Amino acid sequence: MKVITANFVTCAVKECKTTATSFPLHFHDAELELQEVDFQPEFIRNVIPRIDWEGLRTTANELGFPSLPETKPEGDALTNEQTLKDLHRLLLETQVMEGKLVCGTCGHAYAIKEGIANFLLPSHLV
């Protein structure tokens, strides 16, 4: 699972979705892998306004990356190629191959195997 996806996914349990702590989901025992992806500055510029920066900072922290700047790069900062390249590396090239995603509200753990997260819920949680 790419870090960009982790920044959009929430807990699938119905009661959790409305609570503030259901996002971001927390990584546990994550094994990372770097996969080269073509650099697309336009895509990064398109998606940055929708990124939850606080959530991304938390995720990056849990995965052991150096801490990100306090505020989201906006406006002129997005013309800087190096900033975009760094974001590209973190968001699109960093993959979590194994591990767990844990909800902060209900504590449900979604397993990640070979990069695929299992979001199937038992019927009593739907």
Stretch 64-93: interaction string toward other proteins, x if CB under 8 A: ----------------------------x-
Residue 6 Cα distances to 110, 121, 123, angstroms:
12, 18, 24
> How many C-beta atoms lie closer than 10 Å to residue 4's C-beta?
20
Distance CA 112, CA 63 (A): 14
Q: Which of 26, 52, 78, 104 is in the footprint of other proteins by CB under 8 A?
A: 52
* Sequence-separated (6 or more) residues with CB below 8 Å from residue 71: 53
Min CB(21)–other proteins separation in Å? 13
Q: Which stretch binds other proteins (CB under 8 A): 26-34, 39-47, 58-66, 73-81?
A: 39-47
Q: Do 112 and 20 meet the contact criterion of CB atoms below 8 Å apart?
A: no
Residue 50 binds other proteins (CB under 8 A): yes
Distance CA 80, CA 78 (A): 5
Q: Which stretch binds other proteins (CB under 8 A): 12-20, 26-34, 68-76, 79-87?
A: 12-20
Q: Interface with other proteins by CB under 8 A: which residues?
A: 1-2, 4-5, 8-12, 14, 17, 23, 37-38, 40, 42-43, 46-47, 50, 52, 92, 114-121, 123, 126
